[in-house]
Structures are given as C-alpha cells and as structure tokens.
Amino acid sequence: MLNNILSFFGLENGSLPAHEDFRRKRVRYPGLQAEAVIGKNTYAIRDWDLSGISFETDPDTCLDAGTEIKMTVKFRFPHEMIAIEQKARILRNAQRGVSAATFTSMPTGTRRKFQRVLDSIYTRNFLESQVA
C-alpha cells in the first residue's frame, strides 16, 4: 500500500522525480495583515518568504522587472506591528495586478526582524490550535 502511495506521487524510489521543476526552496507565508510600502504607495502582501515577496498592485503600476527598490514590509499582530526596511529587485509585474520581488542582501538585523515575524506567526497558530 505504501508503494502505491509513493508511486502516486512519483516517489517510487524514495527520491523526487527528475522531470519536475520544484522552484520553491522555502515555505511561503500568507500575507494576512501585512503590507508593502514602496515610495508613497501601499500594497497588500499575497505571500512572502525569506527570499522574496509577492504583492497586489494596480494593473498600471510602473514597477518594471529588474528595477531595484527600497520597501518597508509591515506585519500587524495583535500585540505589535513589525516594520522591516528591505531592498529588493522586481521580478515581474503582471498585468492582472500581482508583482513579485526578490530580496537583495539581508543584513543580520533585518533577518532577526523577519525571524520575530515568523515567531509571532508560529505563536499565533499554536494559540489558535489550542482553542478548538
């Protein structure tokens, strides 16, 4: 039975299939109660990880692929708001109103702030799981 399950997912020999393109290297986190501020514009975050971010934009937003930007990522929690200034490079700006950016070099202090965000997410998820 286990072999049937592994076969269904293409894992017969215990390894990932070579023909698949697994582009995600990190877990993506939804951007609930989070926003990206670029210049004077504020955008809702769709999801993020420690390497980059995707956010909702207006279809006519002028964020060209390859453009280096400076953004402030704000995460709102019941007990605090964590604001992180981070440099990024625009990967794409889709006409349907979703842009993606990859973070450029991340100083240690910035990485610690992102870790605080993750700690808050994990804590919130744990507390919510105990209510049920």
Could you tell me if 112 and 118 are in contact, meaning their C-beta atoms sit under 8 angstroms apart?
no
Report the C-alpha gap between 85 and 63 in whole angstroms.
18
59: DSSP letter: T
pLDDT at position 7: 54
Pick the CATH number of 23-131 from 1.10.150.300, 1.10.10.10, 2.40.10.220, 3.30.565.10: 2.40.10.220
Report the C-alpha gap between 73 and 18 in whole angstroms.
36
pLDDT at position 52: 92
Q: Where are the domains of the chain?
A: 23-131
Identity (one letter) of the amino acid at 106?
M
Which residues in the chain land under pLDDT 70? Answer: 1-26, 59-60, 95, 132
Q: Are strands 34-38 and 98-103 parallel, antiparallel or unpaired?
A: unpaired
Report the C-alpha gap between 68 and 115 in whole angstroms.
24
pLDDT at position 27: 75
